């Protein structure tokens, strides 16, 4: 898709799926593994899709052709062996050479390409802000939105200072709100109960 803005996508798939009890990235949704489904949506927005994960071999069969793996380092001594989403984002962002990056979690089964494409069309309205993100009652939704690739320097500095929270990092940044016509697409599939709820109302088309 041509938007006038260089765009890459990063899909984070480094979580432990502890609340689900099994690897949620591999859970099938309408016959397609959840990670593969999210990657399919990303590919409708840009041909440059990076999958950041410590489990490259496990996911190779479910990730669409054309996506590029960014191996994530594992530290088994840490509560989150892959380092968490903020470190995963920084690792993926280091590979990006476009002006903007679309960041997505791998557990968004209701993700809609059309809604993301509307976000791409509004990137020209972003001023000095480093990101265009949806906002919920809990704050910014960092794992379904757009970031300037140039934020990497500040992100690395924050990580170097010990920051591991997206909300903590974003609290010191200028962020523009991305208003979604379909906020239900932010639904995360984290638990067996979420999976039951999902199966009662599955989106028809990514």
Q: Average the pLDDT over 50-76 and give the result.
A: 90
How high is the pLDDT of residue 3? 42
Task: Spell out the domains of the chain, with CATH numbers in brackets.
Answer: 7-200 (3.90.550.10)
Q: Determine the pLDDT at residue 193.
A: 62
Is the pLDDT at 76 greater than 90? The verdict is no
pLDDT of residue 25: 86
Looking at residue 58, the DSSP 8-state letter turns out to be H
* Mean pLDDT, range 136-141, rounded to an integer: 88
Q: Is the pLDDT of residue 137 over 90?
A: no
**CB atoms < 10 A from the CB of 71, how many?**
12
Read off the pTM.
0.88
Question: Which range, of 1-5, 34-38, 43-47, averages the lowest pLDDT?
Answer: 1-5
Give the residue with greater pLDDT, 126 vs 182: 126
Rounded to whole angstroms, the Cα distance separating 2 from 4 reads 6
**Rounded distance, CA 147 to CA 168, Å?**
16
Which range in 18-27, 64-73, 188-197 is most confidently predicted, on average pLDDT?
64-73
Cβ count near 120 (within 10 Å): 20
pLDDT computed for residue 183 by the predictor: 82
Across the chain, mean pLDDT equals 86
pLDDT digits (tens, 9 = 90+) for 152-199: 999 999 999 999 999 999 999 999 999 988 887 887 766 656 666 666
Decide if pLDDT at 29 tops 70: yes
**Residue 4 — pLDDT band, cuts 50, 70, 90?**
very low
For residues 108 and 185, the answer to whether their CB atoms sit within 8 Å is yes
């Amino acid at each position: 898709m041509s938007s006038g803005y260089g765009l890459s996508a990063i899909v984070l798939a480094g979580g432990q799926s502890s609340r689900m009890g099994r690897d949620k990235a591999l859970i099938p949704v309408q016959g397609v593994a959840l990670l593969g489904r999210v990657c399919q949506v990303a590919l409708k927005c840009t041909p440059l899709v990076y999958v950041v994960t410590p489990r490259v071999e496990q996911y190779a069969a479910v990730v669409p052709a054309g996506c590029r793996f960014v191996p994530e380092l594992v530290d088994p001594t840490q509560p989150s062996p892959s380092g968490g989403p903020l470190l995963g984002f920084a690792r993926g962002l280091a590979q990006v050479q476009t002006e903007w990056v679309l960041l997505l979690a791998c557990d968004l089964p209701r993700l809609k390409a059309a809604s993301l494409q509307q976000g791409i069309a509004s990137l020209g309205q972003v001023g000095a802000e480093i990101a265009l993100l949806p906002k919920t009652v809990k704050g910014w939704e960092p794992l379904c939105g757009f970031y300037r690739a140039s934020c990497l320097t500040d992100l690395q500095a924050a990580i170097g200072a010990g920051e591991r929270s997206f909300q903590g990092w974003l609290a010191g940044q200028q962020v523009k709100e991305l208003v979604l016509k379909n906020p239900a697409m932010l639904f995360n599939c984290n638990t067996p109960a979420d999976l039951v709820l999902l199966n009662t109302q599955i989106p028809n088309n990514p």
